[in-house]
Amino acid sequence: MIVYPFIIRSEEAKLQRHFGSAYTAYVQEVPRFFPDFRLYHEPKTYAVSPKVFRHAAFDVLWFIWAVGILECLEGLQEAGIIPLLLQIY
């Protein structure tokens, strides 16, 4: 915690040199460390690409399938249909 403020200032100086006025505008809009939710602005509309949305949906879908499969296996183990090979809790 003692060193972090010095690191922040060093990185800010590098970013200022690299990006110039664009970084100055960014610093005026974005808090340094803690978020300020009063500055958040929700857009009126979102442009969604169906291809990107479908890809993101399938990225999440594997998790839902995995949970369902694990729940089915647990039910089969509790019913004595398949043997219990590993007990975690």
pLDDT at 75 over 70: yes
Domain boundaries, the chain: 1-41, 44-89
- Return the structure tokens found at 1: 């915690």
pLDDT at 84 over 70: yes
What's the pLDDT tens digit per position in 26-65? 998 888 878 888 888 889 999 999 999 999 999 999 999 9
pLDDT of amino acid 83: 85
User: Nearest-CA neighbor of 27 among 36, 7, 42?
Assistant: 36
